[in-house]
Amino acid sequence: MARPPVSEADLIDRYGPHMNQAPPGGWDAGLVVERQVETHCCFCGQQCGIKLKVADNQVVGFEPWYDFPFNEGKLCPKGVKRYLQGAHPDRLLEPLERDPGSAGGFRPTTWDAALDRTVAEIRRIQDTYGKDSFALLSGVSLTNEKSYLIGKFARLALQTANLDYNGRLCMVSAGAANKKALGMDRAANPWSDIPLADVVFITGANVAECAPITTSYVWRARDRGAKVIVADPRVTPLARTADVFLGLRPGTDSALTGTMLHILIQNDWLDHEFIDAHTLGFDEAAAAVEHMTPSWGADVCGVPEDRILEAARLWGTSATGMLLHARGIEHQSKGVENVLSCINLGLATGKYGKPGCGVTTITGQGNGQGGREQGHKCDQLPGNRDITNPEHREYVASVWGCDVDEIPGKGITAQEIMNAIHDGEIKGLLSICFNPAVSLPDTGHTAEALDRLEFYGVVDFFLSESAHHADVVLPGSLHEEDEGTSTSVEGRTIKINAAVSPPGQARLDWEIFVDLAERLGRGRYFPYRSTREIFDELKVASHGGTADYFGMTWERIEDEHGIFWPCPEPGHPGTPRLYEGGVFAHPDGRARFSAVPFREAAEVVDGEYPLWLTTGRVVSQYLSGTQTRRIGPLVEQYPEPLCEMHPRLAQRLEVDSGDLVRVSSRRGTMVLPARVVESIRPDTVFIPYHWAGTQAANQLTNRALDPVSKIPEYKVSAVRVEKAEGHVEIRDRRVTTLQERAKGEGTSS
């Protein structure tokens, strides 16, 4: 029974989101800072170094960590205010059981009772419907150690094939494309290569808001004289300063990059030596773009022809260049194809394996890079190994001390798991660090699916909107309460240090899973007494895989400010830049061009739904907002979703900035304020996705998946927009006075 026990209003009243506005005790508490802990920000794959100030087992502030080389003290607003997720009134302090009779819909229970009930339900469901009828959904805000543990827990303790993770909503398109073309799933470059580029081409990446620290790398390149090209349906804050702006129509990314390849070929802006010596498949790739003339590209993409020519000229004639892409091109039903067409541009011009050269994804989630390497993705085992490869299975079984047949086969992916729950094929679910009720597309479908579960157990620190559906809630730990490692956007493995211990009865996540394994009768595979012991096993399990951590130690990682994998032997310096000398990770050392014909998105505009919808982030919020919607100063910065639209569209709709509009798709409808801005295409509207319920952009989005990566198509849907009743003032001035703040609503300190 996984329906929310009481009304949403009652759940929110008891469990939030409420706001933490100020440090523990208020701004003037005068707490004496006992120590500063060097660790990293939990919000996003940049994994900026930060020092957390600790007093009385509480994080009370931060100090820039100038010596950490990636960000040298720089932080975005999320990093500055990350400390306010601690000492929070919404923090779950004891295990809970669903109880419609209790205020807020849950009653406290004991750890023993909560764990016993969870295990009893797992057993009942698996005995009745089979092992795979119980699924586990995990997330990549977790450390490498937890990711490894959960991968092993699903396979050996739950014995289910159906484990997947929210990295499925992040960089799987890039991962799949990199593997296919280059033989390895890792960002190709350390970020120190960006300032060495003569041209920086940013496509489908709102760098300023989603990876803010990368902005400074781009400017360092410009300070050397680099040109910047940005392709995006919106003039994002970094795009505003671009030398060439390509304001393309949503869903036409591979048409743009295909046209650029066509132009490179026409003008012979190619590195023939590199193509001959280090690649395969150029002729097929060239044939696929033969018809993609500049005028064809301009027509399909809705971008002036001369700008596409200029972008191709800059990319083709610059000695060095970096192409950075992110969810804009990856969150599509052709996400993998889009990335492959970017890789084609890098290979055609020999921009790989050299200083200032590379095509690389900007990971979105905290441990997006590291999480999947440790094997909590449905098709992978530790070391980025393939769960269907007999040799890989054999090796991991030898590390785990199990029979190889005990490791289940390949499971289904996150959205497919939700579909299977909806269809009644999966009956039970355990989740950690994943808020599918907000983050999966078509939220109406997700809510229906969760309602149908016979049992839903959630490990979390706040009661997320998904946990509203839970039967049992196990209070876990925050990032700053446990130690371990994570692997950043650059492929740099870094050390996360504990600043405080979990409050109340909350426990460390890894201890919860070890306890569950014990109760499932599989404790012999989980003898860990510390996260360090998990890391020591993880290193061995990764050895010989592409993501090889074997040579790393926690001490080295700290001393060297991170180590880039592969690091296969003790003393190995790590590998900041991949593919040096044009040696790729396929057995023959060659990279693969891909033939990428253009096709439309799964849903295209028509008379009924005539506008494109694209979704994304704002700088002050992170993912489904479970943490950042509880941090007052971040909420004030961008309090609710706004529908960005161009003045020419607004005029047709007779809408002014602040007027409420009704946005409808084939999945659902939402009402929200319009923000009328010239920084978006007139045929496109944008809504950020961090909010829940009636404020969720994913009420509108499409469950269409990329056939290879199974990433949902968040970036392209067809919608209708109409004027609705009502108007709100949109405040663009942010600096508030104490008096204004005292009068402000929804805040507490």
Partner 1 sequence: MIDQMFVIDQSRCIGCEACVQACEECGTHRGQSLIHLEFVDRGATTQTAPMVCMHCEDPTCAEVCPADAIKQNEDGVVQSALKPRCIGCSNCVLACPFGVPKYFALPDQMMKCDMCYDRTSTGLAPMCASVCPSQALWYGTQDEFVATRTGNLLHEFRFGNQLVPTKVATVVDDLLPGPLDVMADAAPAPWQDDPFGLGEEWT
Judged by CB under 8 A, does residue 311 bind partner 1?
Answer: no
Residue from 25, 36, 56, 73 touching partner 1 (CB under 8 A): that is: 73
Assess contact for 257 and 301: CB atoms under 8 A. Answer: no
Q: How many residues bind partner 1 (CB under 8 A)?
A: 70
Cross-strand pairs, 485? 495
Helix (H, G, I), strand (E, B) or coil at 499: coil
Report the first-to-last Cα separation within the chain, whole angstroms. 37
Residue from 97, 386, 511, 683 touching partner 1 (CB under 8 A): that is: 683
Range 36-56 burial, b when 16+ CB lie within 10 A, else e: bbbbbbbbbbbbbbbbbbbbe
Token digits for 198?
A: 């003569």
Residue from 49, 79, 105, 502 touching partner 1 (CB under 8 A): that is: 79
Give the distance from CA 393 to its chain's centroid: 27
Minimum distance, C-beta of residue 78 to partner 1, in the bound complex (Å) = 9
Assess contact for 661 and 719: CB atoms under 8 A. Answer: no
Residue 530, Cβ neighbours under 10 Å: how many?
A: 13
Phi, psi of 622 (to 5 degrees): -130, 120
Minimum distance, C-beta of residue 70 to partner 1, in the bound complex (Å) = 12
Judged by CB under 8 A, does residue 676 bind partner 1?
Answer: yes
Judged by CB under 8 A, does residue 523 bind partner 1?
Answer: no
d(CA 480, CA 497): 7
Judged by CB under 8 A, does residue 739 bind partner 1?
Answer: yes
Residue tagged 């902005």 (tokens): 215
Judged by CB under 8 A, does residue 657 bind partner 1?
Answer: yes
Token digits for 214?
A: 């990368």
Judged by CB under 8 A, does residue 677 bind partner 1?
Answer: yes
Judged by CB under 8 A, does residue 574 bind partner 1?
Answer: no
Residue tagged 């041209």 (tokens): 199
Residue from 94, 243, 406, 536 touching partner 1 (CB under 8 A): that is: 243
Residue 138 Cα distances to 311, 415, 478, angstroms? 40, 13, 15
Residue from 90, 198, 209, 483 touching partner 1 (CB under 8 A): that is: 209
Among positions 110-149, residues that touch partner 1 (CB under 8 A) are none
Give the single-character DSSP code of 154.
I
Judged by CB under 8 A, does residue 66 bind partner 1?
Answer: yes
Residue 92, Cβ neighbours under 10 Å: how many?
A: 26
Assess contact for 147 and 367: CB atoms under 8 A. Answer: yes
Judged by CB under 8 A, does residue 307 bind partner 1?
Answer: yes
Assess contact for 199 and 33: CB atoms under 8 A. Answer: no
With CB under 8 A as the contact rule, which of the stretches 2-10, 126-134, 214-222, 475-483 interacts with partner 1? 214-222
Judged by CB under 8 A, does residue 219 bind partner 1?
Answer: yes
Q: CA angle 393-553-543, nearest 5°? A: 20
Judged by CB under 8 A, does residue 223 bind partner 1?
Answer: yes
Judged by CB under 8 A, does residue 686 bind partner 1?
Answer: no
d(CA 138, CA 141): 9
d(CA 193, CA 4): 49
Residue type, 128: T
Among positions 615-654, residues that touch partner 1 (CB under 8 A) are 619-620, 633-634, 637, 646-649, 652
Judged by CB under 8 A, does residue 62 bind partner 1?
Answer: yes
Q: Cβ neighbours of residue 414 under 8 Å, at least 6 residues apart? A: 137, 164, 165, 166, 168, 169, 434, 436, 440, 710
Residue from 334, 681, 710, 720 touching partner 1 (CB under 8 A): that is: 681
Residue from 220, 422, 561, 727 touching partner 1 (CB under 8 A): that is: 220
Judged by CB under 8 A, does residue 32 bind partner 1?
Answer: no
With CB under 8 A as the contact rule, which of the stretches 78-86, 91-99, 319-327, 574-582 interacts with partner 1? 78-86
Judged by CB under 8 A, does residue 733 bind partner 1?
Answer: yes
Judged by CB under 8 A, does residue 61 bind partner 1?
Answer: yes
Cross-strand pairs, 211? none
With CB under 8 A as the contact rule, which of the stretches 96-104, 107-115, 209-217, 594-602 interacts with partner 1? 209-217
Minimum distance, C-beta of residue 465 to partner 1, in the bound complex (Å) = 25
Judged by CB under 8 A, does residue 678 bind partner 1?
Answer: yes
Residue from 69, 237, 639, 658 touching partner 1 (CB under 8 A): that is: 237
Which residues of this chain interact with partner 1, rule CB under 8 A? 22, 26-28, 61-62, 64, 66, 73-77, 79-81, 208-209, 212-213, 215-216, 219-220, 222-223, 235-245, 247, 302-304, 307, 619-620, 633-634, 637, 646-649, 652, 657, 675-679, 681-683, 732-739, 742
